[in-house]
Structure 1
Amino acid sequence: MEEETKPKILVVDDEEDLCEILKFNLETQGYDVTTAYSGEEALEKDAASFNLILLDVMMGGMNGFDVAHRLRANEETRNTPIIFLTAKGTENDKIMGFNAGADDYISKPFSIREVLLRIKAVLRRSHQPKAEQKERHQLVFNKLIVDLDRKTVSVEGQDVDFTKTEFGILCTLLEQPGRVFSRHDLIRQIWPMDVIVSDRTVDVNITRLRKKLGPYSDNLVTRLGFGYYFDA
């Protein structure tokens, strides 16, 4: 692999020994690796220049969730892939991680082989699929196809009628599979600002959307107390 084509990875963890172990193994696999030992130090780096960020959650000072929120709020790093590394592996912790903008979540202790496989998978998803979707202007999951130009939805080869609101919700969830959107998130993104919308209205639209998705209805998941997400 030529030097200029090496994917650049930023490893952020307050355990310096772990940083060095990850750096050594990643560089052995052909990655260009930079380390940071705190969230504050990570934000001082040129984060936009990295292809992926491995980010520890539990650090002294600024934690990984806060760092991720800062990166996602910046236009230049909004789409930079982030993989969380953390000893906190409960379901709620993972939900918090994905809501903070994570592309993947690896619980400690982990094997180096697992980390390498996850990195390859995230880099592959973050580049090739987006380029394909941009070229064909579609969101695709198996035989569920959303045509963004024609504003149509096809389920198992059959066109299904969706309202503008249902179409907007489906697109929002499909564009970021795995991310939990609260009712407030969906209201803010789908409905006009001058329209008053209740949580019940969101629930009704989700119910209608599930019915129209047919065999993919179970992929539209309710996370009680949090919101909704598309499980891909």
Structure 2
Amino acid sequence: SSSSSSSSSSSVDEGSPRLTLGDDIYVAEQTIKKSRFVGIAARCDNWADAQSFLATVRTDHPKSRHVCFGFVAGHNPVQERSSDDGEPSGTGGAPILGGIRGEGLSDVVCAVVRYYGGVKLGAGGLIRAYGGTARLVLQNAPTTVLIPKSTVRLRTGAANAGAVYQTASRYGGVAGDESYDAGGNLEVTITCESDSLGDVMEGIRDATRGSV
């Protein structure tokens, strides 16, 4: 009957473990030929949050001449964004991105604020200043490993809801985005560490007597 029909969609896998920053906001600065460069970095996994972070940086540094940044996040595809914010093309954002990549980091936004000191640095000097300031803050910030997560969408009879939730929880999975269709079937998304997905699905199949 329709109330006992079931299915599962293909899972979304975040890939291999990635290195990111801790949960704080990290700051380091240096002065180069009278220009003050302030590096500010944070963990960030989406562009909307990165934009909010950058808006706060600009608000906190209203008298700065430039706020260049690099942002790297995600897996398959990797998101990358950067800005030179008025500096010569390729002298601000790209070196910051290079600093993030060079430290092997992901899910990171890093801004470098420049207070102009009256002495021009030239393209090479700017690249070294922005890239060096980014590396300065990133190298001194604590890091943590992002454990890859997998997500799978399940559909099963409503009578199996308790078994699905309990089994997912037992393996560290989180159930969410649940809904019921016209036939009374439960649709739910399970998110768990990728290494545990096989155990979660096997456990759910056992608990529901193979009806998922």
TM-score range, shorter chain: under 0.3
Higher relative contact order (CA closer than 8 Å, sequence separation 6+): 2
TM-score, normalised with respect to structure 2? 0.25
TM-score, normalised with respect to structure 1? 0.23
Larger radius of gyration: 2
Q: Which structure is higher in strand share?
A: 2
